[in-house]
Amino acid sequence: MKLATLRTGPGATSAGLAVGAEGFMLLPAANVGDLLADPQWRTIVADAQSRDCEKFTPIDRAELAPLLPTAAKVICCGLNYADHILEMGRELPEYPTLFVKYADTLTGAIDPIHVYGSQRVDWEAELAVVVGETLIRADEEEASRAIAGYTVANDVSMRDWQNRTLQWFQGKAFDATTPVGPVMVTADEFPQGHGFDVRGFVNGEVVQSGNTSSLVFSPARLLSYISQFTTLRAGDLVLTGTPGGVGMGMTPPRYLNDGDVLATEIAGIGRLENTIRFCGANSKQV
């Protein structure tokens, strides 16, 4: 099952169920996070289907909102692809490197990314995991069962801000710069939960390509680890890290420019396509 959050009017969104290639059936929840917060969400979806719901949004007109526009926790893992870590000559980490974004940081699957005040905008194509149940000091098995589904994200990073201090947060949390979507595919469609092909493109050129079978910390392991110190709940989002090929690592480093099209793709889930828009004139330098 594929779920999305759709912009249905000014300031209004609705959770939607993808129906073939035709469009979305609107569900009675403001977004996917609100839907998942109801333990009966599968029944809610089944009910909407059984009522042979008349509300379809043609997919080409669908306004895809960020999948989880009100996510309380958006937690990201850095340095997680073993092949990339080893090729950089580093040792595999014992613990996941974690940092955060806000719901405000997220944006829609085909939204332009407006950049204020950064000259070093970089990409990080990632598999993201949507939490489906409350997790408190959960083991890996419990965490695995609590995965509602998978989606695509790009942890767009302002490297100039990220590297101003030792803590990455300020370069990772620019409002409306991390696209997430277009849909969440429910976990039951991926019984193995690994082996996702993650690819990033700039203006059509492949810049990143990895497979999540190389993750040091699997989705379930990440959720379990995080839940040792903070509660995860339905609708929280965990980004699992990015494979090699980011712009900062190139010689010379390469960053996104105004007008560049950043695409992010995971086979079996979907594709993000976001145009970079520099808004320098509007930004005050601090």
Map residues 155-194 to x or -, x wherever contact with a second copy holds by CB under 8 A. Answer: ---x--x--xxxxxxx--xxx-------------------
Stretch near a second copy under the rule CB under 8 A, chosen from 8-16, 100-108, 238-246, 262-270: 100-108
For a second copy, the closer of residues 56 and 116 by Cβ is 116
21 contacts a second copy (rule: CB under 8 A): no
For a second copy, the closer of residues 104 and 273 by Cβ is 104
- Encoded amino acid at 263, one letter: A
Q: Would you give the DSSP letter of residue 61?
A: G
Closest CA to 125 of 277, 5, 267, 228: 267
61 contacts a second copy (rule: CB under 8 A): no
Contact between 279 and 115 (Cβ < 8 Å): yes
Region label for 13, one of left (φ > 0), alpha (ψ between -120 and 50) or beta (otherwise): beta
Contact between 274 and 113 (Cβ < 8 Å): yes
Rounded to an integer, what distance in angstroms lies between the CA atom of residue 104 and that of residue 91? Answer: 34
- With contacts defined by CB under 8 A, how many residues of the chain interact with a second copy? 42
Q: What token pair was written down for 70?
A: 């009100």
Neighbour tally for 242: CB within 10 Å? 29
Q: Identify residues 109-148 at the interface with a second copy (CB under 8 A).
A: 116-117, 137, 139
53 contacts a second copy (rule: CB under 8 A): no
For a second copy, the closer of residues 2 and 172 by Cβ is 172
Interface with a second copy by CB under 8 A: which residues?
A: 72-73, 78, 93-100, 102-105, 116-117, 137, 139, 158, 161, 164-170, 173-175, 224-226, 228-231, 282-284, 286
